[in-house]
Amino acid sequence: MNVVRGIAQWRSQRAAIGGSVGFVPTMGALHAGHASLVERSRAENGATVVSIYVNPTQFDQPADLARYPSTLDADLALLQSLGVDHVLLPTFDEIYPDGFRYRVEETQFSRELCGAHRANHFTGVLTVVLKLLNLVRPTRTYFGEKDYQQYLLVRDMVRAFFLDVDIVACPIVREADGLARSSRNVRLDAAARVLAPQLHHALSSASDDAQALTDLRRHGLDVEYVVTTHGRRFGAVQMHTRDGSVRLIDNVEVR
């Protein structure tokens, strides 16, 4: 596995990669959900590239950024076991040599759902994804459906800017009790972990948004939103733990 720790080094190597390239952008703290994206990429492409970069411009709360898990050694070991070809590890100064002066802004859907509760979150997401797509120049890029709003925004950004890449959505990987796999789950204490699956249960079993909201509140969860749109029911809650709070999101298809 080729681990590249700088953009200049990556650019000098990218030209030598022939054939189709699959790309999985991540912020590290990898889990089975990320592994499923890598496996899909390896099945569909000649080479697979994974980036690990915790992007500060998409965090609306500095404390949330400070608490984001960092497990680089374990991440690299997992990626090597999965047969990843290249891992890109850029730095902030390389990604944002302009200090985030130039950015990508979407003016409609990015202000709904998570965007209504996290100021400028999707501006940071779309900006860093566009930069990474330009650096990696993949054939296909893989996103998990847990962040379905993110997937839709990235897909539409690629279309808007005529980028020659397929944006592929991959199914949510869940624990046995329904909890969507997330890097943030490691911050749940025992009591919060017991309650966390109620998010998926309410979204998937309720007859409408109002019932899902009622069910979540009955379990004592701090609900940010429950909204059905784009053929899915989306929800976000704050899980309170001994060390603060952990924000969880999920969505289910509504037939």
What are the residue numbers of the active site? 34
Widest distance between CA atoms in the chain = 57
Tokens of 211: 């019932």
Instruction: For residue 44, give every residue at least 6 positions away whose Cβ sits within 8 Å of its Cβ, in sequence order, or none.
Output: 20, 22, 140, 168
In the numeric block, the tokens 């890029």 are attached to 141
Instruction: For residue 207, give every residue at least 6 positions away whose Cβ sits within 8 Å of its Cβ, in sequence order, or none.
Output: none
The amino acid that residue 166 corresponds to is D
DSSP code per residue over 75-117: HHHHHHHTT-SEEE---HHHH-TTSS-S----SSGGGSTHHHH
